[in-house]
Amino acid sequence: MRTICALGTACGSSGINIIRISGDDALSVLKGVFSPLEKDGLKPRTMTLGKLLDDSGSVIDKCLAVWFRSPASYTGEDVCELHIHGGAALARLAMRSVMAHGALPAEPGEFTKRAFLNGKLDMAEAESIQQLISAKSESGARAAANALSGAMTAKIRRAQEQLKDVIALLEAGIEYPEEDIEAADDAREPLRAAEISINGLLDGLHLGKLARDGLRIAIAGRPNVGKSSLLNAILGNDRAIVTQIPGTTRDVIEEQYQMEGIPFVFIDTAGIRDTEDAVETIGVERSRRTVDEADMTLFVLDGTVPLTDEERELFETVRKKDHIIILNKCDDPNFRRDNGLTERPFILSAKTGVGVEELLHEILKRALGGDHMREEIFVWTERQADALRRAGRSMTAARTALDEGIDLDCVTIDLMDAYRALGEITGETLTEDIVDRIFSKFCLGK
């Protein structure tokens, strides 16, 4: 297999850049660009100080190099690394020299693809690396690390073993028809156990998505109800400008706030009202679009004045999705609890902070859907989640068929479909073109 190379770190000003080389000729390439300063020379799995040479043999850096002999490496091949000083110009010179000595530029994800093909990682572990790199929150990083540790694969394999036990029982009944009733009865308990295993993974899908993506929460309402004040109260600082002038906020303001490691993006929107101001009109349209696209809306009302027709109209849009009605300004002597809407509001004061902490607890509770952020959750790619759902549907179909006394051949087909779907997650049953497509989405140098 061709020897490949890539910059494994972001190209730019930094303390260190790392160049990775993998393939049969990796050590030969390294020896062409690196001259050890230590008399023992290059030893496997040992950092060695030396001089980095350009493609003409001139010294361009003093750096460290290390090599890993196959199969005890990330890719399972001979792997070498150059740890050079940071800087885009030096990185280009070093890469040019490495390629001049026979290494070819790696494709996106090619190092991890080779690790998968050489049995160093299964597909669930391989994809978790990309999830870990792209994680935007602590919970997302921890969930990706759970999969990288092999915990996801262990649960998938357990479910597959349970399915194999059920399939073996049913195939015995198919081979000996006089015992098919007994085989069906014997299969019920292990089938239930397999279904519980898969349902347990399905139940965690929403937590994995929450850990990775978080929630986008729009703060909406008419002008001067306290939307910007609420954003500031949540963040604990004056992020948004607050004045008594209607229409102060003319564009959306996004800020991230983490609870239990989950990223919540709060979006302060322009006050929604009819206006002749061209700039404010654009802001109002963006506000409506933000409400439509948000996962949840905080619909803020001024508790010191009656509900307006515009607010009633906006509420009809808001109520179609997850939302919380907020009756603000409870610190004002003119505050009234009766807001004119049928839903019970959440009462608070964005100005004094009263009720804000309770609001955040309510948002977190709704986000978790009555669940809690467990220690062992996994971030699932869309591909993995689809395969898991298909496995769940096939399991349900198999149990229904068994309960209704349908031919055991049909039950076995459903169980085999479930087994193959789970195999797509670990990579056992993936076709070559799908494998290529998965790794093409990885970053260079990984």
- Which domains does the chain carry? 4-106 (3.30.1360.120), 125-204+379-440 (1.20.120.430), 212-368 (3.40.50.300)
| Cβ neighbours of residue 333 closer than 8 Å, sequence gap 6 or more | none
Residue appearing with tokens 């779907």: 421
Look up residue 397 and give its amino acid: A
Residue among 417, 412, 414 nearest 397 (CA): 414
Per-residue pLDDT, 182: 74
Per-residue pLDDT, 308: 85
Q: What is the CB neighbour count within 10 angstroms for residue 105?
A: 13
Please compute, for residue 223, the number of CA atoms within 13 A of its CA located in the half-sphere on the CB side. Answer: 17
Per-residue pLDDT, 180: 56
Please state the three-class secondary structure of the chain as a single string. Answer: CCCEEEECCCCCCCCEEEEEEECCCHHHHHHHHEEECCCCCCCCCCCEEEEEECCCCCEEEEEEEEEECCCCCCCCCCEEEEEEECCHHHHHHHHHHHHHCCCEECCCCHHHHHHHHCCCCCHHHHHHHHHHHHCCCHHHHHHHHHHHCCHHHHHHHHHHHHHHHHHHHHHHHHHCHHHHHHHHHHHHHHHHHHHHHHHHHHHCHHHHHHHHHCEEEEEECCCCCCHHHHHHHHHCCCCCCCCCCCCCCCCCEEEEEEECCEEEEEEECCCCCCCCCHHHHHHHHHHHHHHHHCCEEEEEEECCCCCCHHHHHHHHHHCCCCEEEEEECCCCCCCCCCCCCCCCCEECCCCCCCCHHHHHHHHHHHHHCCCCCCCCCCCCCHHHHHHHHHHHHHHHHHHHHHHCCCCHHHHHHHHHHHHHHHHHHHCCCCCHHHHHHHHHCCCCCC
Tens digit of each residue's pLDDT, the chain (446 residues): 899 999 998 877 788 999 999 999 999 999 999 999 988 889 999 999 999 999 999 999 999 999 999 999 999 999 999 999 998 999 999 999 999 999 999 999 999 999 999 999 999 999 999 999 888 888 889 899 999 999 999 999 999 999 998 998 888 777 766 555 577 778 888 889 999 999 989 988 988 888 888 899 999 888 888 888 999 999 987 654 444 544 444 457 889 998 888 899 999 987 665 555 545 455 566 777 888 888 999 999 999 988 888 888 888 888 888 999 999 999 999 998 877 777 889 999 999 999 999 999 999 999 988 666 666 789 899 999 999 999 999 999 999 998 888 888 899 999 999 999 999 999 998 888 889 889 988 887 77
Per-residue pLDDT, 442: 86
Give the integer Cα–Cα distance in Å for 153 and 159. 10
Give the integer Cα–Cα distance in Å for 325 and 316. 12
Give the integer Cα–Cα distance in Å for 220 and 314. 9
Question: Does pTM top 0.85 for this prediction?
Answer: no
Give the integer Cα–Cα distance in Å for 160 and 411. 16
Give the integer Cα–Cα distance in Å for 301 and 133. 41
Per-residue pLDDT, 245: 42
Per-residue pLDDT, 181: 58
Long-range pairs for 174-181 at CB < 8 Å and ≥24 separation? 174/408, 174/409, 174/412, 180/408
β-pairing, 104-105 vs 4-7, is: parallel
